[in-house]
Structure 1
């Protein structure tokens, strides 16, 4: 299972550390690491290739400096960013055809292999989502990852699995369906996808304790960001496969070091998941 760290671009400290690593400034990275260990180094392999990242086109379209890092990652997923776009200053006045054209151009320029459709069913309806998806396919010559939402129904998910090599389940973060209800249905979704030889991604699902139970091919999460918000650091436990939270009463978390450490610990979780889940 691949575990993608979502939106690392939202923490500039992590990107700076990645760039420093590529530039060979390891001493600087070691000083910034809470544990004094080299950043992004595992099993003696000084590389970023063990990192899986999900980022949003909405943010990358104005920060293309991030893209040179992508070729060093183990895997990269691009989200359309449509909902973020819609919730911003463009609320109520989106030219989706223009947005898809720009999205496709970005995918082509940087040769992005894995990217999601614009799953904006609740805004424009499924028929329009399909039209935009087909336009995206024509412009890129690649199949995007369609995202199932509850309005599409059970049979539509089967159709997605028949027609696409990679599918996703959405609405988890937004609680479109209560989490417990969703989890009850996860085995059906996963088994159906695999029956049709399709990979399946759980968007925004990283309840770490359940990753061994629900064998998605990939999931993503922004949970590595929570430590900075909550004032704690993460520590991955390879014996249990779980992520532990560490804090010290009376001490304040250093934002920069905390962000780098927590990202690095989630990378360890990701490597563990690829090997054992």
Structure 2
């Protein structure tokens, strides 16, 4: 198979000063994309700011013969998100690819989590992805092409102790991604999400250091790069990726139980096993697909 290239494409990668985002930016640039490297430059809790991390990645890209510019704006503010996309327009004339990767952690058990800690994580992961995508959306629509890759997480899909804020944001990104896929379909915009497992400064307390090599960021980025490529026609999907494995994650619905003339609490209890049955399951593509079995049962 011939090499997949991004010549003539302009990519915005948020949170690209370290870890996964850095690797995404380097890979896209190495394959010909012009890249806006965005990173606020704070620590993993979101505290502090520095233009250094983003600029260091830009310097590495330029040293390797690529084209990139740094942007240190905050994805969680309207002004910051608009400035990120404006950086792409001013430097390269357009934007084709948005990789929403920026994130912070404020892990606490639920009983100890404050509203401020909850809101801070939602603001960067979920609101930030919305704001940057929103700033780019009209440009993608007008040119009839776009690729958006959002960063979800297994914690969002399946839950994780001490991460109510993070898990909520990451599952929210699944619904966000699927909606963008529907709304972008007739404009050539594909939106997908990844749920990566990688050893980074965000996960170093969660994953053993012995896994650093096996779960390197280089084992995630190829999927991101493919989803960002014009050859990719998948949209509205979520993929888990890490350690050399990629798998599609599906939102499925079991066959369910129906009693058309209504039911009471005792009926629910008596049919609980059937209500919870998993097979045969279906994978709805939209809300209409999900409602179809109910509509058919009521006819």
> Is TM more than 0.5 here?
no
Larger Rg: 2
Greater RCO, CA 8 A, separation 6+: 1
Q: Normalising to structure 1: TM-score of the pair?
A: 0.38
